[in-house]
Structure 1
Amino acid sequence: MEKDQRKKAYSHQKIQDFKADDTFKRSLTKRHLMMIAFGGVIGTGLFVASGENLYQAGPIGTIIAYCLGAIIIYAVMLSLGELSSYLPHTSSFGEYAHRFISPSTGYVVAWLYWLTWVAALGGEFTAVGFLMQRWFPNIDVWVFALIFGIIIFALNIYTVKIFGEGEFIFSSIKVAVVIIFLIIGVVAIVHRFVTHDFSFSYTFVNFYKDGVFPHGISAVLVVILAVNFAFSGTEVIGVAVGETKNPQKAMPAAINATLWRLVVFFVGSIFVIATLLPTKEASSSQSPFVTVLSDIGIPYSADIMNFVIIMAIFSVSNSGLYASARMLYALGEKKTIPPIFAYVNKRGIPVVSVIVSMVGGVIALLSKVYEPETIFKLLINISGFTAIVTWMAISLSQLNFRRHFVRSGGDINSLPYKTPFMPYTPIIALVLCAASIVGSMYDAEQRYAIYGTVVFTLICYLGYYLQHKRKKSKGEPTS
């Protein structure tokens, strides 16, 4: 009995020690957190890729896929809310996996999440160049990519408050446009319904004229991974909470304020697009938002959406560089990579990690230039898959944390934010994430991405154990 009590006391003290481990300046606020959640997720996955998803799975299948994706991200964020409000740490889910799954898994999760964002950065840099050519066709793509990269780097290298303000501005623009789009879309749907004798069959003809699942139920399963990729980025607030004022209050408020809005924005936008845009035209549209607004008669809609998509890319890239740098910091802090990566300057910035992550994004950019159909395409598909693996790690970490917390004598009522419907919430997230991975096996490109991620994961585990063995043989402390 006494031994068990000592074990509980020691275990609970380890959690308390973890809470005090923080070397960053807390310059972000609740409004920053909310917009970081929007900024990481509202991007090309919604503004551009939703058209291809609609074409593949049909209106009903796409809405089902987005609803399932919303359930997954909702469950994951509820789990992350409990962890990050009680244990605010800039290393976030890499640290949670280290503590509550295993040190080796924490190491792998940090590398996978770093790869998620670095791979995405290369595509975002190039995308801005192509989008800017709409207005400046005589200027090479690489010029705008370079300018864009410098701005993103500047936002991340000075202070975290500059990063937060930049994200707040970029995200505010996107959120405003989505709200306006939803209002215009709903008015257009009501107008169609009223002017055609209140006919549901005419108003919602797109939902059934090509069949409920025009390309079969397997197409819905394939689209789910793309939808998950569209939702990925919300979890960045779990990283940012380590640099947020009063995280025990800010994180629960941000979770409650953003989750349902994100669901409404995504599912609502897809419903409007599916109603107003014929399915067969969806994939051929550069952006289904542009096509819908143009058909309604909104002037300069293509230019407006081009600007919004550029702002979306700014926002996603800003969050991506921030998050990837913090993952390298986490690895450096554990000394699983050179400790220089954990160096934080007097302004609270892990400068080496920011620089190296930026270099990784440039390398991904070069892969898009020289090997767009092989290496880069594989990197992007891997990026979507590794986000799901990260969500699974968050859910399992929270499940283990709650069990560990209760067994060590912790009072559940003392948690700043309690994940509801325990233990079902993280279990639902784990099951649905696993199901979406199985569904992605129906698509050859995504299948290769899964194989690539498995290989990368095994290499990471092997690297960790070889390093662990080397440290042990030299008598050095191991994480």
Structure 2
Amino acid sequence: MSDSIARAEPVADGTQRDVEPADFEKPVGDHGAESQLHRRLGTRHLAMIGLGGSIGMGLWLGSGTSLSRAGPASLFIGYVLTGTMIWAVSHSIGEMAVMYPLPSAFVQWTNIFVDPAAGFALGWAYTFAYWISIANELQGIVTVLGFWTDAVPVAAWITIFWFVIILVNVGPVKWFAEIEVVASSIKFGFIFVVIISGIVLSAGGGPKGGYPPVEGGRMGFEFWNSMPFINGAKGFFSIMPTCIFALAGSENASLVAGETTNPRRSVPKAVASIWVRLALFYIIGGLIVTINVSPEDPNLFGGSGTNASPFVIMYRNCGVAPLAHIMNAVIFISVLSTGTISGYGASRIMLGLSQIGMAPKVLQKTDSWGRPWYGLVPTLIIGGGLSYINISSSGAEVFTWFSNLSSLFTLFGWAMICLSHIRMRHAMKVQGRDHANLPWKSWVFPWAAYWGLAWCIILLIVLFYLAISPLSGETSAVNFFSSYVSALAILTLYIGAKIYYRGGRWVNTAEIDLDASRRFYQEDQLEEKGNTNVIVKAIRTAVF
């Protein structure tokens, strides 16, 4: 990073112009406000990527393993609890992404407001998580395609769709965004079919009536009555990593914000639409599964049968074969889409780390199309290479390993987002800044931020207990490390960075330069405050 930095000022076209570097000394705490990434994406891209970015293997396939391990009530409550967490996290993202739309977003926010060592640990932890996610989604594709045929070798499927993920990521960023908009639209559109048809099937409206057959031909909440909780509290907490993995990726919207033309208009709409995804996909969608699929079905992902999605099983068991095949195709698109987003996310995280001096400087370079090649290439190679683990192990076993690893990284990330938000507001308070002047203000601060942070800490502790006392009851080093190695990796990264960067426990909020990395807006870029139609507009943006 150079010895001086241009300070950004707003201009009429919505971008920023730079004042000559010689006019200013380098501000204390510069955190990489400017980058070579292009700001060409709009509200539609941000809203749809935020809406569909987390809807992949965790929901469509992981729900099956959770249902069989913990029962329908545990699965539903797990999604509700995790949903409140990501809702809180999204509001923290909203305030900070509007004011600080930085390339690696929450990594740089942590560096600014919490502690450089925590930012270092978070950045590299999330990079690893994105690599793991690519591998997990590729092995998920193998499982999904196995519903139709097992004649093609696993390695062949992985290689083919690894190449597809590479193609999507190496194209122009605008192409990537448009592809994700299409994929998210398919996911979003079909969930209405799932909900309506699921209600009909649960009432015995399918060709085979209810499945399994029950008195009167109705199913309803049969499984809630007979086996609501399996394995008790331990069973419930054991599925939390899968629930967290299912919702992981919502924070990708904060990364996309750095490449949008006007984050002040785009980000609040993405935040406002978060309840749509939570309500339709995870809470109502999860409920539909629990009232239509038995936790004891051998064909659930991780069972002894075909290892299909519970949504596919629902249609097949009730005799609606065409919808089973269509559902499987939608799941295939969803899983592939999530894999491509992971490639995008990792390369931006690495670029941001480079900007704040925590990764090689070469990672900052992009080409004329705005592609950060030096972060993108290793991400695609490593992520795809890890997926070949699936050749020698079962898909469900690999999914469990990878989801446990990713979930702990995600919990740490969500905690740092909430903590950064709390610390940002505290810095404004001690420096005499008026919160009313924020470009966009969350109406649920501080309660939502504290709620999200508290549950992240609680679950990290609970998951440590489950690592030493697993659901199977067999305590071993293998079980512990396969479940909790991510937390050890984060701790190692943090301690190493703390020794290297030194400094106090926290950054001093009184000394944070709140303007060094922020985005400034002109009046015509600011939407009218108190707009009661923002949620309606968000839904309209998501659908159309």
Do the aligned partners of residues 139 and 379 (structure 1) sit closer, same or farther apart at CA in structure 2, a change above 3 Å counting? closer
Shift of 1:409: 2.9
Stretch moving more, 267-276 or 144-153: 144-153
Aligned to 2:8: none
Alignment correspondent of 1:421: 444
Find the aligned partners of 1:466 and 1:182 in 2 and give their Cα distance: 52
Question: Secondary structure in 2 aligned to 1:245?
Answer: coil
The corresponding residue for 1:171 is 184
In structure 2, runs of 5+ residues without a counterpart are: 1-25, 471-477, 503-544
State the match for 2:252 in structure 1.
236
Q: 1:390 to 1:199 in 2, by over 3 A?
A: farther
Matching of residues 369-380 of structure 1 within 5 Å: 369=391, 378-380=401-403
- Indicate how the Cα distance of structure 1 residues 220 and 446 shifts in structure 2: closer, same or farther if over 3 A, else same: farther
In structure 2, what is the Cα distance between the partners aligned to 1:361 and 1:412? 42
Q: Which residue of 1 aligns with 2:90?
A: 77
The equivalent position to 1:401 in structure 2, one of 424, 427, 435, is 424
Separation of aligned partners in 1, 2:193 and 2:241 = 28
Q: Secondary structure at the match of 1:344?
A: coil
Aligned to 1:386: 409
Distance 1:308 1:247 in 2: 30
Of the three residues 43, 51, 59, the one matched with 2:56 is 43
**Worse overlay, 15-24 or 329-338:** 15-24
- RMSD of equivalent CA atoms: 3.0
**Would you say 1:54 and 2:87 are equivalent positions?**
no
* Separation of aligned partners in 2, 1:231 and 1:405: 31
Post-superposition CA distance 1:86-119 (Å, at most 9, x none): 1111210000000010111111111011111101
In 2, the alpha carbon distance for the partners of 1:382 and 1:463 equals: 20
What is the distance in 1 between the residues matched to 2:70 and 2:134? 28
Contact 1:385/1:449 (CA < 8 Å) preserved in 2? no
Match of residue 10 from structure 2: none
| 1:301 alignment partner, one of 315, 323, 326 | 323
1:399 positional shift? 0.5
User: 1:175, 1:224 → 2: CA distance?
Assistant: 24
Question: Using the alignment, how far apart are the partners of 2:217 and 2:436 within structure 1?
Answer: 49
Structure 1: which amino acid aligns with 2:486? T
| 1:312 alignment partner, one of 334, 342, 354 | 334
Number of equivalenced pairs: 455
Determine the C-alpha separation between the residues in 2 that align with 1:288 and 1:116.
Answer: 25
- CA distance, structure 2, for counterparts of residue 224 and residue 135 of structure 1: 30
CA distance in 1: counterparts of 2:428 and 2:320, whole angstroms? 55
The alignment's TM-score, normalised by the length of structure 1, stands at 0.87
1:252-401 residue pairs with structure 2 within 5 A? 252-281=268-297, 283=300, 284=303, 286-369=308-391, 378-401=401-424
Q: 1:372 to 1:412 in 2, by over 3 A?
A: same
Which position in structure 1 is the counterpart of 2:507?
Answer: none
Amino acid at match of 2:268: P
Quote how far apart the aligned CAs of 1:256 are. Answer: 0.3
With the length of structure 2 as denominator, give the TM-score of the two structures.
Answer: 0.77
The residue matched to 2:53 in structure 1 has which SS?
Answer: helix
Structure 1 gap ranges (5+): 1-12, 470-479
* Cross-structure match for 2:497: 464
Distance 1:205-1:137 versus aligned 2 partners, 3 A rule:
closer
* Amino acid across the alignment from 2:220: T
- TM superposition shift of 1:183: 1.3
1:336 and 1:265 map into 2 onto residues whose CA distance is 37
Identity, in percent, stands at 25
CA offsets per residue over residues 361-414 of structure 1, 9 Å max, x none?
A: 033224444577999864442112111110001000000011112322323222
- Cα displacement (A) at 1:334: 2.2
- How far 1:336 moved relative to its partner? 2.2
Show the counterpart of 2:225: 208
Q: Verify the 8 A CA contact 1:126 1:142 in the aligned structure 2.
A: no
Q: Distance in 2 between matches of 1:57 and 1:318?
A: 31
